[in-house]
Amino acid sequence: MIHSAVHRCCRMAWRAGAVLALVALAFLPPSSGKGQEKKGEEQKKKDVDPFAASTTKLPPSYKGPTFHLSHKYPEKKPKPPTDPPWVKALGGKPISQDNAIAYANALKDHIGKDMRTLILDYAKWNAGAAGWYNMPWLFSIQDPIHGTYVGSGFPRSMFPLSGLKKDMTTLVVIYYNDVAGYTLGQIWGKDAMKPDVKKAQYEEGAIIVKVALTTAMKEDWSPMEGAALWDVYAPPPGSPAGTPPAFFKASFFQFDIIVKDSKTAPQTSWVFTTLVHDKNAKGDAWDKMVPLGAMWGNDPDINSAIDPNAILQQNVINPMAPLYATETLGYGGRLSGPNDGAVVQSAVIDGRLVPRVAVSSCMSCHGVAEAPMRSFLLPGPGVPRASGNVSPSTQGDFIYLYKPGALAFNRWFQSRPGDEPQDRGTVALDYHMNLAFKALPLWAKYTNQDRSKLYADVPSGLRRLLLEPERSSKNGHLFPQKRPKE
């Protein structure tokens, strides 16, 4: 009863919020009819194109391939795959230490042909024709060549064992298979103006992949030897706000594959896997992507702070994975990749500065995907402006976290179904962070929603990220962290 009343109330709030007051904003994609006093609904819609690929214009001298946002989402509910190869790879047994890496490899093989084209032969890539789709509303952050946007920044000290020589920034682009693309169409409808977050539950067989690149080249970080390089056209990472775009290269180093598979993952319905670049593996840059691990729940029954050596039951790490990729595993050894930020340096826990602590995991962080978001990505209040016990001069640089293993912390380590939100009174988004953390905040910004109302109940550390979706990074900070010289 309470549950459904809560849902109804939120749905109404979201619908009401979606009554649009569209205004043509300075840097929106090409708009026609500026300056007209009264615009019809149709005219208003033309002022903003949610499906635009990028607001960054390539110089006319650039002749290479460009990013086209694939958004002709399937309209018919796709059939769930019968006996998919990844399930077959389990050999009829429940997923476990014995077969989880085979499961990840079967997923890799299943999408390998398409992904090899995307990653190694981009001029031939046609996402729509291959049945892969993208999210609307990301035009202000996507680069015009590959559609990548900034994921996170990491200081060189994050990877002490593998010798990262300079600070790095990571870039990501996300693709949805046909089954997942169908749900994107359900959420956004034809014009993407009124998202219906109640439709954000994926069908069986939905696959979402994320390509992650780093600005570290092999000269900066030896594990990057042999990695595929992508061209990016964007303000050079780490440069002060307002720096114009430039061409630079980035190394392809992590590839996430998540799949909706309730049979294999009865508690959460998702299996999260990730591949990482291994310079010692044979073959081309796609062959060299090896599984780092898989997880299908957060092991809520294992309190890793109290019992650090307990063997996780919903999580497997590949013992053959390259060292650099294991330096940033999550809480209690739960899965998280070198692009993911599960390790925090300079955390404040119980009023004390903690130099380095592993506090997240793939599914812990993705578990806060809800609308509107009410919990910070990492287990804690985040980066509040003015509270806590450290001196005022340092406030803002530290991430405030709960004590690992404490009740408040453990809220981030449950194994919930994707339609059950972490926070009561919000709508669960089925572990879908690109929607929760990027697309909905950008939609709210560019359709002039009343964001102070929308984010009224959001803790301050998270609110500033949602209010500035172009600068929000999943490690909890706003970038660029270098401010222009006054």
Sole binder of ligand HEC in the list 105, 169, 251, 360 (CB under 6 A): 360
| 464 is a site residue for ligand HEC (CB under 6 A) | no
Q: Tell me the per-residue interface mask from 175 to 214 with ligand HEC, x by CB under 6 A, - otherwise.
A: ---------------------------------xxx----
CB-CB contact of 281 with 321 (8 Å): no
Residue 114: closest CA among 103, 125, 102: 125
User: 370 has which bridge partners?
Assistant: 428
Three-state DSSP class for 369? coil
| 134 is a site residue for ligand HEC (CB under 6 A) | no
Minimum gap (Å) between residue 315 Cβ and ligand HEC:
10
| 379 is a site residue for ligand HEC (CB under 6 A) | no
| 366 is a site residue for ligand HEC (CB under 6 A) | yes
CB-CB contact of 90 with 34 (8 Å): no
Give, as ranges, the residues between 269 and 328 that touch ligand HEC (CB under 6 A). Answer: 272, 274
Give the separation between CA 201 and CA 77, rounded to whole angstroms: 13
Minimum gap (Å) between residue 57 Cβ and ligand HEC:
23
Distances in Å between the Cα of 444 and the Cα atoms of 17, 54, 118, 421, 439 are: 9, 18, 30, 20, 9
Q: What is the DSSP string of 58-108?
A: PPTT--S-----------SPPPPPSS-HHHHTTTTS---TTTHHHHHHHHH
CB nearer to ligand HEC: pick between 362 and 442:
362
Minimum gap (Å) between residue 300 Cβ and ligand HEC:
17
Sole binder of ligand HEC in the list 49, 143, 256, 370 (CB under 6 A): 256
Q: Tell me the per-residue interface mask from 210 to 239 with ligand HEC, x by CB under 6 A, - otherwise.
A: x-----------------------------
CB nearer to ligand HEC: pick between 164 and 373:
373
Number of residues that bind ligand HEC (CB under 6 A): 29
| 173 is a site residue for ligand HEC (CB under 6 A) | no
Three-state DSSP class for 400? strand
Stretch that binds ligand HEC, among 101-109, 120-128, 137-145, 330-338 (CB under 6 A): 330-338
Sole binder of ligand HEC in the list 47, 261, 299, 340 (CB under 6 A): 340
Stretch that binds ligand HEC, among 228-236, 433-441, 449-457, 460-468 (CB under 6 A): 433-441
- Quick one: CA dihedral 139, 144, 148, 151, positive or negative? negative
CB contact burial 259-296 (16+ within 10 A = b; e otherwise): bbbeebbeebbbbbbbbbbbeeeeeebbebbbbbbbbb
What's the token pair of residue 359?
A: 């506090």
β-bridge pairing 343-349 and 399-401: parallel
| 103 is a site residue for ligand HEC (CB under 6 A) | no
Stretch that binds ligand HEC, among 70-78, 232-240, 400-408, 432-440 (CB under 6 A): 432-440
Q: CA gyration radius for the chain?
A: 22
CB nearer to ligand HEC: pick between 89 and 295:
295
Is the backbone peptide bond immediately before 480 cis, with ω within 30 degrees of 0?
yes
Sole binder of ligand HEC in the list 110, 198, 474, 477 (CB under 6 A): 474
Other C-beta atoms lying within 10 Å of the C-beta of residue 213: 27
CB nearer to ligand HEC: pick between 22 and 232:
232
3-state percent breakdown (helix, strand, coil) of the chain, nearest 5 = 25, 20, 55
Dihedrals φ, ψ of 113, to 5°?
Answer: -60, -50
**How far does CA 96 lie from the centroid of its chain?**
25
CB nearer to ligand HEC: pick between 22 and 435:
435
Give the separation between CA 252 and CA 264, rounded to whole angstroms: 29
| 440 is a site residue for ligand HEC (CB under 6 A) | no
Residue length, the chain? Answer: 486
Minimum gap (Å) between residue 339 Cβ and ligand HEC:
8
| 336 is a site residue for ligand HEC (CB under 6 A) | yes
Minimum gap (Å) between residue 169 Cβ and ligand HEC:
12
Cα-Cα end-to-end distance for the chain: 56
Q: Which residues bind ligand HEC (CB under 6 A)?
A: 151, 172, 174, 208-210, 256, 258, 272, 274, 335-337, 340-342, 360, 362, 365-366, 377-378, 431-434, 437-438, 474
